[in-house]
Chains A and B, each alone.
Chain A
Amino acid sequence: GESVGLHLPTLSVQEGDNSIINCAYSNSASDYFIWYKQESGKGPQFIIDIRSNMDKRQGQRVTVLLNKTVKHLSLQIAATQPGDSAVYFCAETLASGGSYIPTFGRGTSLIVHP
């Protein structure tokens, strides 16, 4: 589980800037990755996913990059808005192994200043 007592990493940006949130995953065999957004007091919300046979996937204002060599994921948010302020979690799973339970990363708190 997560380390007790550590605060979430925080990224502060100005409205309109591009944001990049990074995540290191743990299992080199993981083949499916998801980014979730969690607003305060709410459950996680799916943002975008990527399979291990890809290194980039784009959505609306969001792009996920996958570097399997160093087990690294990033989430890029273009033209960040105050409504993007939330905690962002990456999650990994081994879909080909029949696992449908994602393992959540530590999370990053994104603060967007108007």
Chain B
Amino acid sequence: GAVVSQHPSRVICKSGTSVKIECRSLDFQATTMFWYRQFPKQSLMLMATSNEGSKATYEQGVEKDKFLINHASLTLSTLTVTSAHPEDSSFYICSVLGFGVNEQFFGPGTRLTVL
């Protein structure tokens, strides 16, 4: 399967600042990537679908101006949490849509803590 990395693995920031999280597909050209958010002891919630070269598709209730997604190349998608607040503290996970229509390969996640 595809190897997916995320950077940083952990980040702590002050309230009001912006944080960028990178998702890289190391060995696979990913036309489509997904961004999920996971709160403690809860399931994964899809935030948006990121398509290379076009605007991301956001799920209902996810603010596109707050969670900026850029998928500028086939191997990199970025999620920027703008003006972060403590309630944005969460585990953010990206995934890559693989060869098969139902194959998803997940990154290791990024733990964001907003003070």
**Chain A interface residues toward B at CB < 8 A:** 1-2, 4, 6-8, 32, 34, 41-46, 49, 89, 93, 95, 98, 100-102, 104-107
Contact = CB atoms under 8 A, between A and B. Distances in A.
B41 A100 contact: no
Contact of A95 (B41, B102, B107, B111): B102
Nearest to B49: A101
Q: Which of B42, B105, B108 has the most CB of A within 10 A?
A: B42
Given A2-B39, A89-B43, 18 more contacts: A2-B42, A2-B43, A2-B45, A6-B41, A7-B41, A41-B91, A41-B109, A41-B111, A43-B95, A45-B106, A46-B103, A93-B102, A101-B49, A102-B102, A102-B104, A105-B43, A106-B42, A107-B43
Contact of A8 (B41, B46, B93): B41
Contact of A42 (B43, B101, B109): B109
Interface residues of B, number: 25
24 contacts: A1-B45, A2-B42, A2-B43, A32-B102, A41-B91, A41-B108, A41-B111, A42-B109, A43-B93, A43-B106, A43-B107, A43-B109, A44-B44, A49-B102, A89-B43, A93-B102, A98-B101, A101-B46, A102-B102, A102-B104, A104-B43, A104-B44, A106-B43, A107-B43
Interface of B: 1, 4, 34, 39, 41-46, 49, 91, 93, 95, 97, 101-109, 111
Given A41-B111, A43-B95, A100 B104 contact: yes
Q: Is the interface of A mostly helix, strand, loop or mixed?
A: loop
Nearest to A1: B45
Contacts of B95: 43
Nearest to A93: B102
Given A43-B106, A49-B102, A100-B101, A89 B44 contact: yes
